[in-house]
Amino acid sequence: MGQRVLASGGVSDDVLFLSAAGQAALIRDKQLSPVELTRAYLERIDRLDGRLRAYITVCREAALAAARHAEDDVARRVALGPLHGIPFAVKDQFNTRGVRTTAGSRILADNVPDDDATVVARLTAAGGILLGKLNLTEFALGGTIQFPYGQPRNPWNTEHDPGGSSAGSGAAVAAALCSVSLGEDTGGSVRTPASWCGVAGHRPTWGLVSRHGCLPLAWSLDAPGPLGRTVEDCALLLGIIAGHDDRDPLTTRRAPPDYRAMLTGEVRGLRVGVIRELTHGDETDPEVRTAVITAAGVLARLGADVEEVSLPMVPSAGAAFMALCDSEGAALHLHWLRSRPLDYDQGTRRRLLAAGLLPASLVHKAQQARALVRRQIVEALAEHDVLVAPTSHRPAPTIATFTAPITSKAEAASRFFTRRSFTTPAALAGTPAMAVPCGFSAAGLPLSLQIIGRRFEDATVLRVGHAYEQQTKWHRRRPDL
């Protein structure tokens, strides 16, 4: 305990950066106080979040009250949940009872739900302590120019973007402003923040996790998912939030396995396909390419059978995704676009209005492209247990990159479609995918390996990610804050 808690009684940075699974074990063993842990995170938020703007709302008093209750339960030796005493935070896209849920928009600035989203309710029932609500691009769409609740920033370099749309979810975990977080991944919005902020993030199989109480963007794509400093933390949270919910009839009735128990570190004999078009394409940064090839080599040394695989439709996935996601979003926002257009950020408004003008023929073409992308992924996964590729084609760009004017059609295609073609294939196919740190650029920015698996084989994706993680030290680095 002496190495973990400072003599003053405060919690050390080593504990704040410890995995949630590790913190939970210390709490169960009475070596760590939930009250002290919660207070330490709140103090860190006070000190750092003025720069990072990861949070929109901090639930200070409620979190401390819940921590005191959690500490009493430990003392009384009552049965403890798997997340007992662990401070978590959620993207402000998830409803929280009595706590405003803005979706990052002025339109919902005064929205205070009466009930928790299912995923929030399950985390608190497991003993978790809600620290607050995390910043995001407006309505989780991406492309926000002026963030109503402050510009979220990357902990590794505050001039760089933390990734959209779950920007705060990635930044808060990387900067140790909470133990773990929840994001929502429509086309990469868990994996991109995980990639650019240097943490682990998992997009579950579509339909594995309830979306009840999650403000929607695109019903056919949305998937809530965990972000953590380790793959084990993602497995821990997924085991809590996965499973059927009567309030979301599209959730599976399959009983989820014990994801943590399946983190064996063993990948011998697994077949791993390296997606050629994403790893070796002209758009992929050489540092990213080298890091991913090296990561695949680690899996090969662990006994996996690694080979290249070609998915020719994958580079078109970003364009198909935007046509589908944005048109679904435009239909959802039609009422507010008519009644409160000026309350939207100009980037959000422009994107939704443009999507509302898409002809039906183009949307149908996008659906056909989606089917082709899905077929190629499914066929590749029939021959391979997982597919791997970069999570992003480059390290986190500067924030100014996203606000600079677009001067050509080619630049527009590159900005809107290229990076999305790396994360949207799994979203279009409804398959699980996760991001795991796999290196750093020469400029000190995180690089990330993406692992894609078969539908409802999330455990295999997590197992491969965990096995790789255990052979490397990238997840142990901390941003200098």
Angle, CA 153 vertex, CA 104 and CA 177 arms, to 5°: 85
Q: How many helices (H) and strands (E) does the chain have?
A: 18, 11
Contacts for 403-407: CB closer than 8 Å, 24+ residues apart:
403/145
Catalytic residue (one of 165, 181, 195, 327): 165
- pLDDT recorded at residue 413: 67
Query: 409 an active-site residue?
Result: no
Is residue 347 predicted with pLDDT exceeding 80?
A: yes
Dump pLDDT digits (tens) for 73-126: 999 988 999 999 999 999 999 999 999 999 999 999 999 999 999 999 999 999
What pLDDT, in 10s, does the model give residues 199-220? 999 999 999 999 999 999 999 9
Let me know: does 181 contact 91? Beta carbons within 8 Å.
Answer: yes
Query: Does the annotation count 165 as an active-site position?
Result: yes
Scored b (16 or more CB within 10 A) or e, 284-313 reads: beebbbebbbebbebbeebebebeebebeb
Rounded CA-CA distance 443/275 in Å is 26
**Contact call for residues 137 and 104 (beta carbons, < 8 A):** yes
Active-site residue, 316 included:
no
The domain spans of the chain are 13-476
Q: What percent of the chain has pLDDT over 70?
A: 98
8 Å CB contact between 93 and 101: yes
Domain 13-476 class in CATH: alpha beta
Neighbouring-strand partners of residue 272? 306, 386
State the Cα–Cα distance between residues 266 and 473, nearest whole angstrom.
18
Q: Which of 19, 33, 91, 316 is catalytic?
A: 91
How far apart CA 364 and CA 470 sit, in angstroms, is 44
The pTM of this model reads 0.96
Catalytic site residue from 19, 33, 166, 189: 189
Phi then psi for residue 214, to 5 deg, are -100, 120
The pLDDT tens digits for 247-296 are 999 999 999 999 999 999 999 999 999 999 999 999 999 999 999 999 99
